[in-house]
Structure formats: C-alpha cells, structure tokens
Amino acid sequence: MNLNLQDVGRTFDGKEVVRNVSFIAEPGEIIGLLGTSGCGKSTILRAISGLDDAYDGRIEINGNVSRKVQDTTGFIFQEPRLMPWLTVLENVTFGLKGSRDEKEAAGKRYLESVGLGGSEALYPRALSGGMAQRVAIARALVTSPEILLLDEPFSALDAFTKMQLQDLLMEIWKEYRTTIILVTHDIDEATYLCDRIITLRGQPGEMDRVITIEQERPRERGSRQLAEYKKEILGSLDLNQSTQYEQQINS
Ligand SMILES: Nc1ncnc2c1ncn2[C@@H]1O[C@H](COP(=O)(O)OP(=O)(O)OP(=O)(O)O)[C@@H](O)[C@H]1O
C-alpha cells in the first residue's frame, strides 16, 4: 500500500491547525508522527483514514484519491473501544463479511496471533488493559488491512505491557508487512518501531524534520544509536509549548 500526502492542511472554523504536510509512505513502511500536543497529529490521521474529508490538499492511496473510509485501512486507538455486550471473538468479527464459520475461523486465527487463543468467549469486563488492546489489534487485523493507522495505541498501558505490545506489533508487521502510520508522544517508542519519524511543530502544525532510523531490527531498547536519534528528535520539538516531553528529556 502506497500512501501519498501532498500539501495536506486542515482548518476548523477559520482556524488553521495543520499546514502543508507532504510525505509518501512506501508499502510496508512504518512512519511515526511525533509532535507536541495540539500540533495536528490526530487530525492528519483522520484525514488519511477518510473519517474526515474536509481537509485541504491531496491524499492518494495506491495512486487513487478517495475521501471515504477504505476497507483496506485498519485503526487502533488509545482506548480499545470494545463493545461490552459482545464476547472477545464477537468484538473481533463484528462487521466482518462472510459465513459464520469463516468469520469465526478468521477471528480465532487473529486472536491466536495476538496471544489470546482461548479467550474467545470472555467479555471485555474480564480483560486487563493490555488484553483489551490485544483484542483491538486483532479486530484491526482481521480485515487484512493494507494500512494500519495507530493513534497513540499503547499510551494508556503500563511500561511493561507497552513494551510487550510494541514487540507484538513488530511480530505482526514482520508477518504481514502492513504499512503503518503511528501517532505517538513516546520518542522511545517511535525510534524503536519506525523506519522514518516525521516531527511536527507549531500552530498550525507543520512538518519540521524527517528522520530515517537506519537501524536493523530487532532494535535494542536504550541503545546508544537510538539515544542519538532521540536527541535529534527532542531538538526538533517545540518543548516550550509542552510539558509532555520533560520527563522524556530526563530519561
Ligand atoms: N473537530 C474539531 N473541531 C475544532 N477543532 C479541532 C477539531 N479537531 C481538532 N481540532 C483542533 O485542531 C488542533 C489539532 O488537534 P489534534 O487532536 O490533531 O492534535 P494532536 O497533535 O493529535 O494532539 P494530542 O497530541 O494532544 O492528541 C487542536 O488545536 C484541536 O483543538
């Protein structure tokens, strides 16, 4: 899946919040969008997703312009957004086309691949935050998306679960080679997962740097090389506009 953004911008009620965002994501590439709060990361993701069609500029998916939600796009949000009255398996297969047997088989397969084989009959209330987010990942994958849009998918999780799910995402990516656009506040997460990181800054948010992470996978968390990238990214962010990164400067 090739994704091409050309001069994408967005204005809400006369207020410009995103300006001139352009980049190409090659098939299988993982691109991180990083920037201080309010610089327009989620707005860009919503434009790519087709959930918002009132943006300026042009977004092409595999060479086609479309302002509608695509079947080939999967979403994972910060919170799992599961339906409490449906079982884990029903949550994953909800809205899927095909016979009941086909849907169940697909749901089970993807639950297995996120480490939740055997949990099909549970209800969301019985799940930990990490398990619930695994269900959300399975639900996104079950449609065989060519592009995955991730909006701070792990930021509500504790540090340990977060690392487990980042590694799970890497395993899934190795298998399916899905193009991934990842919005995150976590610089370590971005340097660990992404091929390229786009930093955004200002109001309206504009692209500042595009940083290619030239490191083989699997990467080593906390390595000297990733620390160098982190320094470069911190140098690009509007830190005086945000307290969000203070903790990350010191870690
Ligand atoms: N539907 C909307 N109507 C009006 N303003 C909006 C709307 N959606 C977003 N905005 C504004 O656009 C700006 C960018 O918001 P957005 O959520 O994209 O930022 P963000 O970088 O993802 O922030 P955060 O990191 O805090 O999630 C903000 O000033 C926000 O208030």
The pLDDT, as a whole number, for residue 239 is 72
Confidence class of residue 233 from pLDDT cuts 50, 70 and 90? Answer: very high
**241 has pLDDT over 80:** no
Q: In this structure, what DSSP letter does residue 241 have?
A: G
The pLDDT, as a whole number, for residue 70 is 81
Residues in CB range of 196: below 8 A, 6 or more apart = 29, 30, 31, 32, 210, 211, 212, 213
Query: Is the C-beta atom of 43 inside 6 A of ligand 1?
Result: yes
CB 105 within 8 A of CB 89: no
Q: Ligand 1: distance of its center to the CA of 38 in Å?
A: 5
Q: Ligand 1: distance of its center to the CA of 205 in Å?
A: 10
The pLDDT, as a whole number, for residue 243 is 59
The pLDDT, as a whole number, for residue 71 is 81
Query: Is the C-beta atom of 10 inside 6 A of ligand 1?
Result: no
Q: Ligand 1: distance of its center to the CA of 172 in Å?
A: 30
Convert the pLDDT of each residue in 94-141 to its tens digit. 989 999 999 999 999 999 999 999 999 999 999 999 999 999 999 999
Can you tell me which atom of ligand 1 is nearest the CA of 45?
18
Query: Is the C-beta atom of 39 inside 6 A of ligand 1?
Result: yes
What distance separates the 2 farthest-apart alpha carbons in the chain? 55
Q: Ligand 1: distance of its center to the CA of 195 in Å?
A: 25
Best probe residue, ligand 1, of 42, 199, 207 (max atoms within 8 Å of C-beta): 42
Confidence class of residue 184 from pLDDT cuts 50, 70 and 90? Answer: very high
Confidence class of residue 34 from pLDDT cuts 50, 70 and 90? Answer: very high
Convert the pLDDT of each residue in 151-167 to its tens digit. 999 999 999 999 999 99
**246 has pLDDT over 70:** no
Query: Is the C-beta atom of 37 inside 6 A of ligand 1?
Result: yes
Confidence class of residue 16 from pLDDT cuts 50, 70 and 90? Answer: very high
**Atom 5 of ligand 1 has which residue's CA nearest to it?**
12
Convert the pLDDT of each residue in 61-85 to its tens digit. 988 888 888 888 999 999 999 999 9
Rounded Cα–Cα distance for residues 74 and 11 (Å): 25
Percent of the chain with pLDDT over 90: 84
Q: Ligand 1: distance of its center to the CA of 178 in Å?
A: 26
Q: How many CB atoms lie within 10 A of CB 10?
A: 22
The pLDDT, as a whole number, for residue 237 is 85
**1 has pLDDT over 90:** no
Q: Ligand 1: distance of its center to the CA of 42 in Å?
A: 7
**Atom 3 of ligand 1 has which residue's CA nearest to it?**
12
pTM given for the model: 0.93
The pLDDT, as a whole number, for residue 244 is 62
**Nearest one of 218, 246, 215, 239 to 229, comparing CA atoms:** 215
The verdict on ipTM greater than 0.85 is: yes
Query: Is the C-beta atom of 42 inside 6 A of ligand 1?
Result: yes
